[in-house]
Structure 1
Amino acid sequence: MEKIPITRNGYRHLAAELLHLRRVVRPRVLEELQEARLFGIKADNQQYLLARENHSVLLRKIHDLETKLAQCEIFVGRKFTSKVVGFGTWTVVRNLETGETLRFQMVGPYESDVANGRLSILSPVGRSLMGRSEGDEVTVFTPAGERTYQVLEILS
């Protein structure tokens, strides 16, 4: 099984979400399911059918989080030199077409959130930026079209 890189905070977030689903949400869903069973297990008991569906959705979420956590490998400290874009580094780039300046932290796919400045190293832009130095220009073929970025600054 291939390991997926994740930061310590990202791992803690996933583990906390799993714990919440197991300790808070699952007992509530099971209680709803038991309550709905009191009216009988029939095809016309919509409350039971909805509770059963909610239970199966919850089990899928829990299984998905367990699988993600099993695949994760926490990266602690720097594995790259400080002047090269790598996992965990903060990178400031400029879109050369629009002039827009963006600041990203390079993270794993399970904790990616571009709106909050967390860019996956497996995304098209992330893959292109990995290993680049300050001043390098990168052309990326994204679903929205071709983009050209210049690496302005790399922060640890």
Structure 2
Amino acid sequence: MSATAEATNIAAPRSGRIDPKYTRSKGKSGNFEMLAWLFMRLSGVLLVVLIFVHLFSNLMVGEGINGIDFGLVAGKWASPIWQIWDLAMLWLAMLHGTNGVRTIIDDYTESDKVRFWLKIVLYAASTAIIMLGTLVIFTFEPCMVDSTGQLLDRSPSFCFDQAAFN
């Protein structure tokens, strides 16, 4: 082999030793990363369906964007189907986003201590948003009453129609 042939021989990527400052402490993760990868793909597909049905039902059916108000949300959440639909959208979107940000933290944070605290903040924020969102969806009461049990004037119109039947 000539000298020019040896000079153009390029070593394969990652064939050399990795600088120790770029290595992380290796814990036993098992199949977690593979399951997280699979979750991202499946939740992404499911989120596309959930979001497009949500948008279609809110924007294309009825009055369109002009019809989106407190009464529309209250009417939808009167149905357990829409409560579960919106709950699934909330949970999947938050878990999908949290997993994505976790991956970014793992990829771009060099210090184990900083990585740990960033993940703690991420998980705490995600847990709080999921819990508060779930609480709002299942405890939402559109027909507001005063201390005597009478409907308030600012209640949606369907509350007054419902009160007439009671």
TM range (shorter): 0.3 to 0.5
What TM-score, normalized to structure 2? Answer: 0.33
Between structure 1 and structure 2, the one with the greater Rg is 2
Higher normalized helix content (fraction of residues): 2
What TM-score, normalized to structure 1? Answer: 0.35
